[in-house]
Chain A
Amino acid sequence: MRVIQPADIATITAASLGVRGGNVRDLLKPALRRASYLLAPCSASDLIRFVAEPLSPLGDLREETEAELQDLIAYGDIFEMRRIDGDPWDTPNVVLRPAPPAFVMRSKTQAFILGVGGDYPSPLPAELSASLDYAGPVRILDCPDDEDFAGHLREFGLTQLGEQAWLRIPPVTSAADHVADWRKRLNAAPSNTSAVPDLEVIDPTCPPSFYAGRWRAPRQAEAGLFVARRPQVFGGKLWCVVELDAGQPTRLLDLHPSDVFIRPCDQAWRLQAALDAVQETPQQVVITEDAASTHLSFGGPLPSFAERKLALVATKSRAPQCLFRFSSSTGSLQEEIAFLQSILWMQPIRDGGKR
């Protein structure tokens, strides 16, 4: 037993969570993995509170915790899914659960390590756990000297996920067809006559390069199909697709997690990409090259399948003048740019404005 100071909390907690160093932000993902195992099935708000509250002497970490949770869901460490038969009585309709330990090969000697190791910070033995790279949104294990790397990971009980099974890339379609498909689904929804309080929509007239600035309340004369969010009594805002007429929602379709783990936000972001493309203001990917690397910069969030696809060859990081970027030192990312063009109808822009 020893007396400690508030500043020691991060270092001590890091050791309990198997994390090197004492950076508070680095604690959040391991703490969320642990919490998902302890509380599952649980709501996102319970999970965030369980992690953020004991760390409160280090500051209010709820927003950061939520952002890290979104990364864990996007890459497949934690599943967002509907409740299933046999769940406890107090289980909400949408729940989070820890993914079982698994891996996806990134190259012959490099793998993404996914999932939760129960009571242990990592499902791997200490020797391999020590080599885990926690820097990006997903853990990477690099074993350059191991000729049968995948075989050894399987021996340790991890499930190997095929690249396609992990990516879950939707079928290629034109932006117009994608919008038409959603319009059809929305038309099948019952018509809405009541007001939807605090509804907010993505402004189609705002430039797509500043995502946060696109959200606003519907305007009076506005009509058409919009990606929207609306508050609910408890929990985060609900993603939805809405048809407005004179600024009033006439039809509304709430988006829920599917059993194949397509997040509501993924559906919404892809629809918005299609809407932007149809309006001839497609979302953009800015390509910059320097001596060492090629960078792809984005002004708005990407659906998880796109993030995963890019993560296979590039590294995600924060960068100035964009929301985030993916960088690769090994290739020109031509295939990935073509992928973004075909699946999210994005427009590539060379740094300096050249298309």
Chain B
Amino acid sequence: MLGGIQQRLQTTYEMLAAQRRELGYPVYALEHGLSAAELGEIAEAASASIRYSAPSLSHWLVWTALGAEAGYRYSGDEYWPELERRRGEWRSNDYRQQLRSFYRRFAADFSGPQPRGRWAGHFNIIAWPISGAILPRYLQVHFARHLFDLRHALPHAVLEEGDGLGELLLRRYSGTTSRFRDFLQQTGLTTQIVLALRDEATRPLVARIEPSVLRRIVDDLERTREARTYLRDARHILETTKVKIAASLRSKSAPADPTGAVAAQSQRFRVVAKRLQDGTFGLGLAFPDFRRLGVGRDVVAGQRVQVVGDGDRWQPASFLLTFSGKDRGIDAFPAPNAALVAAEGDNVDLARLLAEVAKIEERPAWVLRRHLDGSYREVVGGFVRSDQEYLVLTRASPPASSLDRVGLKRANLNASGAEAFVLRTPARISDQTKAALKELRIGTKTDVSVRPLGIGPRPGNLPSWLATETVILATSADADIKTIVVSLDGADASFITCQDSQALIALEHLSVGRHSLALAPISATGSGWTTPSEQFEFDILAPTPWAESMQGKSGFRLIRTPPTADFESVVSGEASLVAFGPSGRQVHWSLVGYDAAGHPAWDHPLGTSRVGETGGNMPTMLRRACDNYSDEIDEAFQLDIVAKLDELGRQADRYPRAVEPLRWRYEAGAGTVRLVDETDHAETPVVRLYSLASPLDRKTIPLEQALTGVKPDGEGGLFSVRCGDTIQSIFASAPAGKKLRDLADLGVQQALSLPDHKGLAAIRLIDGMRRWGMAKPVGHLALVRRDLTIKRMRDALCGLCCGADFLKILASSRPTRFEQAQQKVGGSQGFGSRMRTTAWPPDFEDAINDFIGYAERYGIETDRQRARAALILAYRPLQLRFDETADKKAFLADLMGRRHLLRGAFLAHAVSRQPSIALKETA
């Protein structure tokens, strides 16, 4: 049977490949042409065929078709069960590399898709059949939503050659579903899908995707109302806008900044002003777009800058990116030729760039034009036009006679170092006024001017509209003219007849990007088109989905500090999550978990807090949730901490979890732990178990057992798998076997077996702490038990370094424990006293210099490296590094012998934790 199917598939795929070859369209394994009933029978026969031997090369197309079908059904969690007819059939066999070779051959023979990006690298087997599935079901809603979000950008993107469309879809994805992001990296595939959707109604002679297969995908997609609406809207825009663009005069590509004015505007600091509520004018600086100047994260990393108005304060250079293209208030007008931003650090290029752009051009007067949004922005070149409002800044007050002749009215400036004057220019600027302005070194520009009508452009250095908006411009002149010559983006000029020296122009269906409108008047007395006297530059933007663009606009937002902190850090309180909004309002918090397909799977309320509460009870709320819903939290593919504030809406702080090809799954019902292995088996994964009763002792577990599921012995165990450089570990905690008698130990009896060699023993404890600290806690009391285990190792390390008697004193709750510990430090009374009485900071880096200094001064330790290592052992043992030490065992053994030094270090750390009991926390 399989032989016949193989032949049929060969014919089908060959035919498709022949049809598409000239057009360069790929063939997909999902286009097999088999019915659902046939597929069932074939899968059964194929399954039987691999019971005792590997998939046969003579049935390779059968397997590519079956693999693609499994990829289409795939839910985003585990691929292999979808391919299996018998449980465990593919999970535990060793045929996956062969399956990949079938797909590679398919790609070579029929121009099949080849997976790309992170996905192809990480999931280098299953990426192949899933790519062959075109658009797996679980990604269909995401895909429809993404097309909908970008619907107005698509018609322009389809005009691009190559995979431009797919690249747009990837570039503009701001969501956090890692599987979907991986999928979008297949830009060739996504381009073909969108184009196939666009072409479906026109029934092209050669289809990009077999019509029956495309219909199957669309039908599946339209099963939910949400996705159906999204897809239909996106397709409608895609189909109708294509016709409009084809029918209208399509603009040529814009010349790259023909006048240089745009570059000048965006590439240096400019002065801005705003009239404040009390009638005075506030001054600010508009930062250039540093990204356009080539400043990226890599350039600013590790650099610091000092910004004018900030005094002596230095701040991370990433500040430049934060304020890129934005305005910032200043209290004083910058001194002549003053550096607005100074850089500290070793980046010569950054320093050179700042020296060039971070200054304002020194001139007799700065002219700021009022924009539609109420802001006044510096005019490059310092000139004025007719019928506009300006703010003129000078360092010294001009003569009163000049003020009168020009019509400058003094204004109150809310900043020192400059004088300010308001100027309203008339519809026609007289020669006398021009002359008076010239005395003040202010130029005048007459001729044609351009004014937006209908809807105002977006505020910024350059006016901008959306691709969905029609740009209406009024052109006028301050002389009598009967015709204006206009050219858009260098296209042939149009002659427009004016009425009262004015003309109105509508610009529709412009492509996304920069555009330039060149204008020149032809006066009433008659003259020809010479060179443009005015160049109006503007941007056309693609609309942004509202869920993205409205973030924080209502005045309610969440801020995570530091921004890169993970969920666990927020739970532990090391990182903070604070709601900003109207102070005192009540915020309702909840925790939302997502499934593998990126859909919300559950939503648990966390509690409430008030806006502006500092510190807050967020860690407490999260910790409670972690206790109550630990299994669900562990299983979630993404977690959102969601804040709701009535009419101010909902803000979500997202914590995506990247799915790894090798990962553990905890099956709460059975209490078992199972290994999901989607690696290519280039290396055999090694599985180890560390029981809770004996957390430093390892036991090897057979891979097959881990793949089918293992139950930890006793009250739990840590499972660790290693494959190449990848290590994944999980701590599964089982319900207590007996009634808890002592809350302190949670009924856990543990033995820490250590070698006699003290250096080795310390290394073993540190490795153990690291291993247990990395393990994901799941199951009953898992987090508490894991932390307890680490604490015991930490105590054991303290005992090893300082002796059991010293540990006993530090761990006691007696109010005199520090005094007692001081007596035990030894070596020097002064050293012990310093260790107890110094206000040791909680951060290691802040404590190290003082500690080394005291150790030297009191003759305890003159070797700085050793003193440093002692304090690291006490503060942050996991950060102990041995890069400069040849023999770490010997180094540690030697260090263990320096008891005064170590006791001092552990006492210093205990004091830094005051008033809590020392040693409570791990590294």
Contacts and interface: CB of A to CB of B under 8 A. Distances in A.
Contacts of A46: 373-374
B225 A34 contact: no
Contact of B374 (A49, A157, A159, A261): A49
A125 B148 contact: yes
A38 B458 contact: yes
A116 interface: yes
Contacts of B553: 37, 40, 97-98, 100, 116, 118
Contacts of A5: 504
A76 interface: yes
Given A6-B504, A118-B546, A155-B225, A90 B456 contact: no
B328 interface: yes
Contacts of B454: 9, 12-13, 16, 54-55
A56 B451 CA distance: 11
Nearest to B646: A165
Contacts of B646: 161, 165
Contacts of A90: 274, 276, 282, 284, 327, 329, 375
A8 B580 contact: no
Contacts of A165: 646-647
A93 interface: yes
Contacts of A97: 553-555
A99 B373 contact: no
A92 interface: yes
A152 interface: yes
Contact of A54 (B148, B372, B508): B372
Interface stretch (A77-85, A173-181, A345-353): A77-85
B503 A3 contact: yes
A172 interface: no
A233 B281 CA distance: 13
B232 interface: yes
A79 B553 CA distance: 11
B183 to A, nearest CB: 21
B649 interface: yes
Interface in B436-454: 452-454
A16 B580 contact: no
B543 A119 contact: yes
Contacts of A169: none
A135 B573 CA distance: 51
Nearest to A16: B469
Interface string A57-94: 10000000000000000001001011011101110110
Interface string B300-315: 0000000000000000
A102 B497 CA distance: 47
Interface string B533-564: 00000000001111111100111000000000
Contact of B233 (A3, A38, A118, A125): A125
Contacts of A76: 647
Contacts of B469: 16
A126 B284 CA distance: 41
A204 interface: no
A1 B466 CA distance: 16
Interface in B359-391: 372-375
A170 interface: no
A99 B582 contact: no
B549 A119 contact: yes
Contact of B372 (A1, A53, A116, A235): A53
A8 B506 contact: yes
A201 interface: no
Contact of B474 (A35, A40, A57): A57
A165 B648 CA distance: 11
A4 B554 contact: no
B549 A37 contact: yes
A117 interface: yes
A16 B545 contact: no
B505 A4 contact: yes
Q: Give the dominant DSSP class at A's interface.
A: mixed
A102 B546 contact: no
B334 to A, nearest CB: 16
Interface string B452-492: 11111011000000101110101000000000001010000
Contacts of A57: 453, 474
Given A1-B506, A2-B505, A16-B455, A81 B649 contact: no
Contacts of A126: 233, 236
Interface string B497-522: 10000011111100000000000000
B554 to A, nearest CB: 5
Contact of A84 (B282, B284, B545, B581): B581
B107 to A, nearest CB: 37
A318 to B, nearest CB: 26
A282 B370 CA distance: 48
Contacts of A2: 505-506, 508
B494 interface: yes
A150 to B, nearest CB: 13
Interface string A87-124: 01110110101111110000000000011111110010
Interface string B131-150: 00000000000000000100
Interface in A235-272: 235, 259-261
Given A49-B374, A57-B453, A84-B580, A99 B504 contact: no
A341 to B, nearest CB: 27
A299 interface: no
Given A46-B374, A90-B276, A234-B277, A100 B649 contact: yes
A211 interface: no
Contact of A89 (B249, B329, B488, B550): B329
Given A4-B505, A12-B506, A117-B546, A50 B372 contact: yes
Contacts of A98: 550, 553-554
Given A2-B505, A42-B374, A119-B543, A125 B649 contact: no
Contacts of B326: 88
B701 to A, nearest CB: 44
Contact of A125 (B229, B276, B468): B229
B585 interface: yes
B582 A89 contact: no
A152 B506 CA distance: 38
B226 interface: yes
Contacts of B548: 118
B8 interface: no
B725 interface: no
A335 interface: no
A56 B372 CA distance: 13
B156 to A, nearest CB: 15
A344 interface: no
A235 B279 CA distance: 10
Given A38-B373, A51-B456, A234-B279, A99 B554 contact: yes
Interface of A: 1-6, 8-9, 12-13, 15-17, 31, 34-35, 37-43, 45-46, 49-51, 53-57, 76, 79, 81-82, 84-86, 88-90, 92-93, 95, 97-102, 114-120, 123, 125-128, 152, 155-157, 159, 161, 165-166, 232-235, 259-261
30 contacts: A4-B505, A12-B470, A13-B454, A16-B469, A17-B455, A35-B456, A38-B458, A39-B459, A42-B373, A45-B374, A51-B456, A54-B453, A57-B453, A76-B647, A84-B580, A88-B326, A89-B328, A89-B329, A99-B649, A125-B229, A125-B230, A126-B236, A127-B229, A152-B226, A155-B225, A156-B229, A157-B546, A159-B649, A233-B278, A235-B277
The 3 A-B residue pairs with the shortest CB-CB distance, nearest first, are: A89-B329, A259-B582, A100-B649
